[in-house]
Amino acid sequence: MSALSVKNVNKRFGGLKALDNVNLEIDGGTVHAIIGPNGAGKSTLLNCFIGRLEPDTGSVTFNGQSLLGMAPHEINQAGVSRVFQTPEIFGDLSLIDNVMIPSFARRDGAFKINAWTPVRRNGPMAEKAMSMLEDVGLAAKADETAGHLSRGDKRRLELAMCLVQDPKLLLLDEPTAGMARADTNNTIDLMKTIAQRGVTMVVIEHDMHVVFSLAEKISVLAQGTVIAEDTPANIKGNPKVQEAYLGGAHL
């Protein structure tokens, strides 16, 4: 049964048809990669999943519930978390606070006035946040200001911020861009462990090493349409895909 179901989604920006009748079925508990050349509409598609954009027509349902018309915070509370292409973190706050905030958001819901008891720096919430930072290898920097991190570290922090919420669906927009090779491999290992926990993942990625080490299924997007959808092995040999990638030298 598919967890995320995208049917006949169209999105226009003025004269540009960004998404042209996109259909996708993403199975629960799998890692699904979306690849395609720049400007193919990958990020636009992800924005339609989280309430940042509203498709002109079509439907997006998650576990049978329509995501269209829901506010971003409602979609997140339904179990969808996203890592952005440009890391979205709380730059003026410490790393540990960055991870505790999503944790509180999951515990307390979209809004709760919890103004009297202080944040416990050694309670279960802090411990959970700390173990997430350990998972992404940032525990040593827990008290540093997040804005001062390198781009790769910001990305791993953002991943920890999503993971602490135990998402049902994790959307990753180029999770390894800007990372050194060693960090990329660590991140791949981390994502594999997350996948083993049964989290459904949708990954947009340009790094084919990442795509082929993680994905169980790949959809190829070009000029706003899905031109192919198959297992990694079959995608490699698909002539349409190779054409879309101008010869597909790096496939």
Task: Name which of 72 and 124 has its Cβ closer to another protein.
Answer: 72
Q: Determine whether 31 is exposed, middle or buried from the number of CB atoms within 10 Å of its CB (0-12, 13-18, 19+).
A: buried
Q: Could you give the CA distance from residue 117 to residue 102 in angstroms, rounded to a whole number?
A: 18
C-beta of 117 vs 196, nearer to another protein: 117
Query: Element (H or E) spanning 75, and its range?
Result: helix 72-77
117: DSSP letter: S
Q: How far is the CB of 122 from another protein (least distance, A)?
A: 11
User: In whole angstroms, how close is the CB of 173 to another protein at the nearest point?
Assistant: 12
Contacts with 87 (C-beta within 8 Å, 6 or more apart), sequence order: 151, 154, 155, 157, 158
Half-sphere exposure of 176 (CA within 13 A, CB side): 22
Give the nearest distance from C-beta 87 to another protein in angstroms: 9
- Measured from the CB atom, is 1 or 113 closer to another protein? 113
Give the residues lining the site for another protein (CB under 8 A).
50, 52, 71-73, 76-77, 81-82, 84, 88-94, 97, 100-102, 104-106, 108-119, 145, 161, 165
Least distance (Å) between residue 236 CB and another protein: 33
Contact present, 69 and 54 (Cβ < 8 Å): yes
Considering the complex, state which of residue 115 and residue 182 has its C-beta at the smaller distance from another protein: 115
Q: In the bound complex, what is the minimum distance in angstroms from residue 145's beta carbon to another protein?
A: 6
* Least separation in angstroms between CB 209 and another protein: 28
Q: Which is nearer to another protein, 162 or 228 (CB)?
A: 162
Contact predicate 118/112, CB 8 Å:
no
Which of 89, 228 has the CB closer to another protein? 89
* Cβ-contact 59, 49 below 8 angstroms: no
The terminus-to-terminus CA distance of the chain in angstroms comes to 30
